[in-house]
């Protein structure tokens, strides 16, 4: 092949790859990332045979059980932050030791894979004020190398998100631990009401979530449904102003309080308030929702009031709605 033909062939391959990449980028679903910090991480060993002694000792009480193969334990930890923002909630993890290995010593389980235990996670997330957001449920195997597709920085294990509730109903994805330090092991005879008093370890977990639905700005034939407070549409003739409060119509923001049955319209009295934390990202800068309610009489249309940051540059600015850290597609509005 002469040089000209070779260059032409490489150009064709490069062009084809670019087209494939462009098509893939348009179709690929990007997961929502929850990086969750926990504290007071305590491992309660199943070491009590006399049930009258369960959770009775003021403690702290170390487990006398060596944690042999097939032993079980339950871990409880407090959620303290999600993606760097304060949060509340709980992580409950149950483990059954298996010690799977291709090269077992007596007492370990022979296997073609290397894993330490079978695990199940239950996460329940709350806002800082204690109101509910939603739950995520995970099944998997701990120990060994992180599974392909795991979050960058994962230290071990293979966990699959198998569902959720509240803001995360129908969620799928992966779960990995990023770090665990100073975890405390205790007997099940220790009173768990003293867990925070006695303290425990810290940890960080990363959840990659593919949600059942995403929040989206409603788009009309004349453009995104973003309005001034007087009800007029934000257009190039009437652009948004920096510092102005706007109203956006959105879909897919999830559960409300009071709740409604699927397919039933939102009430007008009282207004149905979205239970998830809601933000509008304006050119990537988060603007917390001022109001976040279901439009009365609709089944999946919400009103979100937000303020345009004063630092935004003028022009066609991208905005996108985020609910429970799940982000929707960006649309553009004119800002002066």
- Residue 74 is predicted with a pLDDT of 97
- Tokens 């293979």 sit on residue: 158
- Residue 1 is predicted with a pLDDT of 47
Beta strands in 11-87 (DSSP E): 32-45, 72-82, 85-86
Per-residue pLDDT of 186-203, as tens digits, reads 999 999 999 999 999 999
- Residue 300 is predicted with a pLDDT of 93
Question: What are the pLDDT tens digits along the chain (336 aa)?
Answer: 454 444 343 433 444 334 334 444 444 578 999 999 999 999 999 999 999 999 999 989 999 777 789 999 999 999 999 999 999 999 999 999 999 999 999 999 999 999 999 999 999 999 999 999 999 999 999 999 999 988 888 898 899 999 999 999 999 999 999 999 999 999 999 999 999 999 999 999 999 999 999 999 999 999 999 999 999 999 999 999 999 999 999 999 999 999 999 899 999 999 999 999 999 999 999 999 999 999 999 999 999 999 999 999 999 999 999 999 999 999 999 999
| Structural contact between residues 260 and 272, judged by C-beta atoms closer than 8 angstroms | yes
What distance in Å separates the CA atoms of residue 161 and residue 208, rounded to the nearest whole number?
8
- Residue 10 is predicted with a pLDDT of 40
- Residue 67 is predicted with a pLDDT of 73
The CATH number assigned to the domain with range 216-335 reads 2.60.40
What distance in Å separates the CA atoms of residue 199 and residue 59, rounded to the nearest whole number?
11
| Strand (E) or helix (H) holding 195 | helix 195-198
Beta strands 184-187 and 32-45: pairing type? parallel
- Residue 25 is predicted with a pLDDT of 43
CA distances in angstroms from 261 to 127, 161, 257, listed in the order given = 23, 25, 12
In this structure, what token pair is assigned to residue 88? Answer: 């509340």
Residue extents of the structural domains in the chain:
32-210, 216-335
- Residue 23 is predicted with a pLDDT of 45
- Residue 14 is predicted with a pLDDT of 44
What distance in Å separates the CA atoms of residue 310 and residue 34, rounded to the nearest whole number?
28
- Residue 42 is predicted with a pLDDT of 97
Strand-pairing partners, residue 142, are 117
pTM confidence score: 0.87
In this structure, what token pair is assigned to residue 152? Answer: 């960058």
């Amino acid at each position: 092949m002469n040089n000209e033909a070779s260059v032409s062939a490489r150009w064709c391959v490069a062009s084809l790859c670019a087209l494939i990449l462009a098509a893939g980028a348009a179709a690929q679903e990007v997961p929502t990332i929850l990086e969750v910090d926990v504290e007071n991480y305590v491992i309660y060993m199943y070491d009590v045979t006399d049930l009258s002694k369960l959770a009775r000792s003021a403690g702290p009480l170390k487990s006398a059980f060596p944690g042999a193969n097939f032993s079980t334990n339950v871990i409880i930890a407090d959620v303290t932050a999600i993606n760097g923002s304060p949060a509340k909630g709980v992580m409950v993890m149950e483990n059954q030791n298996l010690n799977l290995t291709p090269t077992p010593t007596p007492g370990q389980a022979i296997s073609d894979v290397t894993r330490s235990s079978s695990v199940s996670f239950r996460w329940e997330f709350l806002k800082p004020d204690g109101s509910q957001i939603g739950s995520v449920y995970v099944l998997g195997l701990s120990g060994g190398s992180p599974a392909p597709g795991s979050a960058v920085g994962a230290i071990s294990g293979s966990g699959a998100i198998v569902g959720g509730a509240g803001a995360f109903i129908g969620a799928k994805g992966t779960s990995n631990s990023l770090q665990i330090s100073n975890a405390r092991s205790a007997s099940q005879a220790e009173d768990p009401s003293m867990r925070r008093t006695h303290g425990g370890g810290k940890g960080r977990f990363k959840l990659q979530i593919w949600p059942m639905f995403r929040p989206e700005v409603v788009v009309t034939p004349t453009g995104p449904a973003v309005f001034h407070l007087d009800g007029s549409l934000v257009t190039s003739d009437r652009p948004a102003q920096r510092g102005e409060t706007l109203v956006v119509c959105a879909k897919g923001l999830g559960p409300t309080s009071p709740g409604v049955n699927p397919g039933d319209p939102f009430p007008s009295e009282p207004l149905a308030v979205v239970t998830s934390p809601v933000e509008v990202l304006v050119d990537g800068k988060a603007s917390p929702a001022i109001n976040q309610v279901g439009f009365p009489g609709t089944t999946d249309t919400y009103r979100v009031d937000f303020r345009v940051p004063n630092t935004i540059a003028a022009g066609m600015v991208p905005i996108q709605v985020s609910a429970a850290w799940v982000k929707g597609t960006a649309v553009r509005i004119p800002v002066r």
